[in-house]
Structures are given as C-alpha cells and as structure tokens.
C-alpha cells in the first residue's frame, strides 16, 4: 500500500538547530502522527545537508575537521528531534554512501540524456547562501559592489568564472507551467503559487550544478575535478533515501514536501524539473510555510535572537511548545514568537481550558463514583461525545489541508463545550438530588475527554498519554478512534484517577 510520504527539508549543518527548524519538523511530525493514528501507513523523512563551502568554512572556524564538524551538528539535530518527540521513519545525511552513490547515478543519467552538459559559468556566487546569481540578478550598487540579492543576506558576491556542468532548466519551462496548471494542489499554499508562476513565466535559464573550487562535495562521475553543487545534491535526498531503504515504490511520489518559504523556489521549480528530467513522477504538493519573527524582530545572526527550543521547553514543556507553534499562526503565514504570547496561551488554553477540565472531571468521578466509569449509553439520547465523533471528518479535512490551526480550533471548541456543559449541569449540586442523572453527565464528559485525548495525540503526545492513562483507556498502538470510544472500548485499563495538573499554571 502506498504510504503517505512526507519530508522536511534537509537542514544545513553549518549551525545549531533553532525554532525555524523545529517548526517545520514539528509540523511534519504532527501530520505524520495524525495519519498514522488514522490507520494510514506513513513515511516521514528528515535529515541533514552536509556539503558545500559554507560547511568547510564553518568547520575551519570551529577548529574541526569537516567530517567531525558535520557529525557533531547532524547529531545536534537528531538529539533535538528526540527531545521534541519527533517520530521520523528515516534520517538521511548527504554524506552517507547510500546518498552519494545515487546522486552520482542521477548525475550520470542526466549527462547521458543531455539534460546536464559541460559549459563555462560566468557570474556571481553567494557563499553564504550557496547560490549562483547572474549579472542581471545582482546589478552593481552605487558603490559598484555586487551584493547578494537575497534581502536576508546582502553579502558581497564572489565573481566566478569556471568550467561547470549545467542543468538544462530552460527546457522545462513549458512542462512546469503545464503541471502547475493541471495540478492546482501542487503549489501550496495557494497564495504562494503566483510568485512561482510569474518566475517561471519570466523564462528559466540553465543553471550551474557543479563547482571546481569546492572540495567538500560529491565528485561528478568521471570528472572528479568537479563536485556536484550542494543544492542539486541535497534535493535528490527525497528519492535517494527511500530508494536505499527499499521503500521507493511504497513512497514515491511524495505526498508533500514541507519547506520554508526561503527555499520554495528550489522545491517548486528546480526540483520538479530535475524529476521530469529523470523521468520520475512529481510530488503531489510542495508546501511553503512562513517565518517567525521573535518578539517583533526578524531572527538574524547579527541580532543573535534565534530561539533555542530547549530554553522554551525547559520552562513550558515540550507539548506546550509544539502546541504554540501550530496554534499561534496559520500554517503558511508569518507570525511572531513571543514568550508573553506563549505564557498567555499556556495559561488560558492549556492550563485552564484543558488541564482544569480534566482535573475537574476526574475529581468528580473519583469522589462521586469511586473512580469507576460512570453511566451507560442511552440509545438515541443526544450526547456531546456523539456530537464530537461526528466532527471527525471535519478534523481530517483540516489536516488534509495542512490547517493545523483550524484543527486545533475545532478541538478547542469541543473542549469549550465540555467546560460549558459542566457549568450548566453543576454535577456538584446535581449529585445531592439525582445521582443517576449525575452519572449520565459524567459519562458524557468522560467519553468527550477520551475523544479529545485521541485528537490531541498528534500535537501533544505526552499530554495525550497522560490523559489516556488517567481516563482509563489505552493509547497504543494508536489512540482509540471516536467510534471506539463510543462503543465503550477501553481494553480494560480500568479506573479513572486523579493526577497532578497536566499544565501547572505559570
């Protein structure tokens, strides 16, 4: 069965992971967990991009050998993913033989077909971005300098003239435009499609895909003076990784490549053109998410304001961090990361709406019913749990559309309904006059919470595990579906018990 195959970009190991990397990877993990828990086989690939002169320079600066430097920084990514409960199926490093040998094979195929050819490159190169620029891309400024056109960079460009292999990108202008037109779900979110269309309509130039001055790279097969351009090498990971794991036919084409908007063009133009040249089907979609500012300011090296995810999780826990990232800004937009906003959401939505609700319900079941699952399903009687179960398709539709924010909004509406229900039914009064009716109210609340526990698992796996344990239901191998909850499946874990608050107030 074809797996739902999703990828993060390969992270460049010139620096330590920060909130931007965490954002992409958490989003991918949430999607992967959601589809896994819906019974769909999933393959989530992430990894590190380790070639290029920027890595050579950074290693020299750190006083380490290049390989040693790449090992250390690649490990930092894996450690952070494990800290953030990211469950990936494969982690690829571009320095692994399984990747390098396949990249060389692809390169050789392109030379053979004529889609790669040797020429002479004259132009400009930004070492910082590992990006080639033409004269027209980077006209001289008033002081006669040519600066990197990337507004985030603006570093002086190197003039380069060297023998180089080129990829015949120009040939793919029409096929790409046709593909975009015939597959409106390819460029996502839709508001980003226009910039790509305009760019491709403006004409595509063949692009250099090898360098002679960079030693830290994959040698061009049969021409070892050249190494393969780092972007060309890295993009291929999406096919080399599943090929090497024997999972290629289960995975390809990818369902979605999730990337940051700064690398969208590589993924929306260069990459599909490379796939067309290699005769491989194109991924279903390429989704570009937005950027975080931090406390209202752009994140930059000079400001030194990159958010270290571990500092946030130390204070608020991993789940609150994951929740905030996906709740605070709609996926695809830009947003601001501020500790104040995080604390507000933590206290209002996690500690109060959810945590307090769970404590209250458990407390009442414990003291009124000795922790036993209360009540019984009265056929045909309206209940919140049944209402929630009917929202399953809506939730799935939001996840299908990468609308994490909307999915959480829907879950929190349900949490709000449970809170209102308690306040309206006042079980603490009701229990004095009508114990049977109290049981029914608590029964509905418990089942509603069991459904919520399953729904939040992709977003907050630790919290979901605690809720499942406290509410007397199993979570593994997958959380119970709303239908299983309604059917009363619990696998006999038994009593509902009080526990410390899920989210202590800050």
Interface residues with Zn ion (CB under 5 A) are 126, 128-129, 148, 150, 153
What 3-state class would DSSP assign to 215? coil
- Rounded to a whole number of angstroms, the minimum distance from the CB of residue 152 to Zn ion is 8
3-state SS track over 276-292: HHHCCCCCCEEEEECCE
| Nearer Cβ to Zn ion (134/394) | 134
- Rounded to a whole number of angstroms, the minimum distance from the CB of residue 155 to Zn ion is 5
CB 85 within 8 A of CB 75: no
| Nearer Cβ to Zn ion (129/457) | 129
- End-to-end CA separation in angstroms for the chain: 46
| Nearer Cβ to Zn ion (153/478) | 153
Q: CA 393 → CA 230, 401, 410, 482, 484, distances in Å?
A: 42, 12, 11, 11, 15
Helices 19-37 and 392-400: angle between axes, nearest 10 degrees: 140
- Rounded to a whole number of angstroms, the minimum distance from the CB of residue 241 to Zn ion is 28
- Rounded to a whole number of angstroms, the minimum distance from the CB of residue 158 to Zn ion is 10
User: To which H or E segment does residue 144 belong?
Assistant: none
- Rounded to a whole number of angstroms, the minimum distance from the CB of residue 150 to Zn ion is 4
Burial 289-302 (b: 16+ CB within 10 A, else e): bbbbebeeeebeee
| Nearer Cβ to Zn ion (83/145) | 145
Token pair belonging to 209: 């895909």
| Nearer Cβ to Zn ion (153/422) | 153
* Among the listed residues 156, 63, 174, 32, the one whose alpha carbon sits nearest the alpha carbon of residue 458: 32
**Dihedral angle sign, alpha carbons of residues 127, 130, 132, 135:** negative
Q: What residues form DSSP beta bridges with 166?
A: 117, 208
**DSSP structural state of residue 253:** S
Token pair belonging to 138: 């980077």
Q: What does the radius of gyration of the chain's CA atoms come to, in whole angstroms?
A: 26
- Rounded to a whole number of angstroms, the minimum distance from the CB of residue 256 to Zn ion is 27
| Nearer Cβ to Zn ion (248/291) | 291
| Nearer Cβ to Zn ion (150/173) | 150
Q: What residues form DSSP beta bridges with 260?
A: 289
Task: Compute φ and ψ for 261, nearest 5 degrees.
Answer: -65, -20
Cα gap 91→95, rounded to integer Å: 12
| Nearer Cβ to Zn ion (150/305) | 150
| Nearer Cβ to Zn ion (4/125) | 125
- Rounded to a whole number of angstroms, the minimum distance from the CB of residue 138 to Zn ion is 9
């Amino acid at each position: 069965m074809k797996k739902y195959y999703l990828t993060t970009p390969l992270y460049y190991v010139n620096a330590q992971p920060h909130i931007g990397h965490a954002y992409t990877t958490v989003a991918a993990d949430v999607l992967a967990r959601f589809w896994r828990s819906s019974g769909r086989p999933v393959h989530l690939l992430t990894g590190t991009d380790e070639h290029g002169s920027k890595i050579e320079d950074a290693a020299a600066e750190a006083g380490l050998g290049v390989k040693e430097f790449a090992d250390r920084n690649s490990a930092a990514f894996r450690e952070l993913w494990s800290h953030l409960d990211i469950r990936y199926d494969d982690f690829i490093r571009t320095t692994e033989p399984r990747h390098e040998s396949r990249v060389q094979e692809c390169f050789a195929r392109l030379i053979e077909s004529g889609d790669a050819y040797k020429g002479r490159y004259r132009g400009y190169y930004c070492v910082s971005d590992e990006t080639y620029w033409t004269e027209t891309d980077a006209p001289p400024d008033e002081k006669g300098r040519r600066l990197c056109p990337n507004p985030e960079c603006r570093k002086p460009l190197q003039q380069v003239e060297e023998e180089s292999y080129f990829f015949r990108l120009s040939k793919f202008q029409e096929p790409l435009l046709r593909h975009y037109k015939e597959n409106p779900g390819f460029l996502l979110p839709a508001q980003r499609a226009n910039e790509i269309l305009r760019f491709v309509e403006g004409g595509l130039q063949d692009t250099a895909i090898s360098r002679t001055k960079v030693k830290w790279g994959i040698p061009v097969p049969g021409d070892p003076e050249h190494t393969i351009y780092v972007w060309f090498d890295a993009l291929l990971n999406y096919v080399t990784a599943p090929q090497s794991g024997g999972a290629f036919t289960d995975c390809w084409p990818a369902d979605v490549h999730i990337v940051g908007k700064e690398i969208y063009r590589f993924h929306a133009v260069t990459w599909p053109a490379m796939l067309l040249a290699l005769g491989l089907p194109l991924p279903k979609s390429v989704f570009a998410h937005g950027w975080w500012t931090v406390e209202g300011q752009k994140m930059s090296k000079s400001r030194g304001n990159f958010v270290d995810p571990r500092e946030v999780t130390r204070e608020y826990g991993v789940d609150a961090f994951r929740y905030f990232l996906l709740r605070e800004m709609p996926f695809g937009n830009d947003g601001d990361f501020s500790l104040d906003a995080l604390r507000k959401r933590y206290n209002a939505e996690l500690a109060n709406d959810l945590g307090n609700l769970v404590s209250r319900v458990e407390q009442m079941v414990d003291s009124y019913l000795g922790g036993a699952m209360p009540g019984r399903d009265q056929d045909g009687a309206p209940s919140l749990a049944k209402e929630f179960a009917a929202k399953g398709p809506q939730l799935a539709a939001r996840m299908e559309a990468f609308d994490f924010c909307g999915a959480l909004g829907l879950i929190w509406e349900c949490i709000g309904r449970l809170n209102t229900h308690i306040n309206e039914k006042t079980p603490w009064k009701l229990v004095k006059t009508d114990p049977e009716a109290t049981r029914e109210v608590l029964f509905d609340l418990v089942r509603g919470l069991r459904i919520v526990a399953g729904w939040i698992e992709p977003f907050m796996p630790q919290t979901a595990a605690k809720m499942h344990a406290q509410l007397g239901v199993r979570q593994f191998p997958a959380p119970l579906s709303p239908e299983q909850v309604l059917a009363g499946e619990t696998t006999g874990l038994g009593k509902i018990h009080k526990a410390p608050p899920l989210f202590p107030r800050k």
